């Protein structure tokens, strides 16, 4: 049976600031992110299986990504917890804002690495994460490929 790639797209709104950066992105700002998640596997060939012919049910993939990424990052402001931004994060959190502290600079590049690890942990053993594409603006995105990260 052939390996087939399955892709599902997601979108979420997230704010962030890049501590120490020498441009505008040092300021708190937000993006309308788009995330393409591609997995690879063989379609189920058991004719008695309720998901016969599927690599993975799109709704199962959606559940994983929603729980691990979208519900966590949507309408949150992300800061690196190892920088003075932690003080701003505490103030915002005390005022009822959704703040997320991570142990990396919250660039698209680092976020896509984080997302890959979170998604890989939740996939069934017969399904592999093939790639992620995290689009920050209409013309800017970061990509992660399993083949380049083994």
Evaluate whether 115 touches 69 at the Cβ level (below 8 Å). Answer: yes
3-state helix, strand, coil in the chain (%, to 5): 30, 35, 35
DSSP letter at 68? I
Task: Let me know if 75 is a catalytic residue.
Answer: yes
Q: Which residue among the candidates 25, 31, 109, 143 is catalytic per the annotation? A: 25
Per-residue CA distances from 80 to 40, 43, 49, 86, 107 (Å): 32, 40, 45, 7, 10
Annotated catalytic residue, options 29, 49, 75, 97: 75
Could you tell me where the beta strands, DSSP code E, fall in the chain? 4-16, 29-41, 76-80, 99-102, 128-137, 140-145
Rounded to 5°, angle at Cα 76 from 104 and 110: 25
Q: List active site positions.
A: 25, 75, 136
């Amino acid at each position: 049976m052939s390996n087939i790639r399955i892709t599902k797209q997601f979108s979420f709104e997230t704010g962030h600031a890049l501590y120490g950066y020498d441009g505008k992105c040092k300021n708190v700002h937000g993006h309308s992110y788009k995330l393409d998640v591609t997995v690879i596997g063989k379609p189920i060939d058991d004719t008695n299986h309720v998901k016969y012919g599927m690599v993975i049910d799109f709704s199962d993939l959606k559940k994983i990504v929603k729980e691990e990424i979208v519900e966590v990052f949507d309408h949150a402001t992300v800061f690196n917890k190892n920088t003075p931004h932690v003080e701003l994060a505490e103030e915002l959190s005390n005022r009822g804002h959704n703040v997320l502290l991570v142990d990396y600079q919250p660039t698209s590049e680092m976020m896509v690495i984080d997302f890959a690890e979170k998604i890989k942990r939740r996939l069934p053993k017969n399904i592999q994460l093939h790639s992620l594409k995290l689009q920050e603006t209409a013309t800017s995105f970061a990509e992660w490929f399993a083949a380049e990260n083994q």
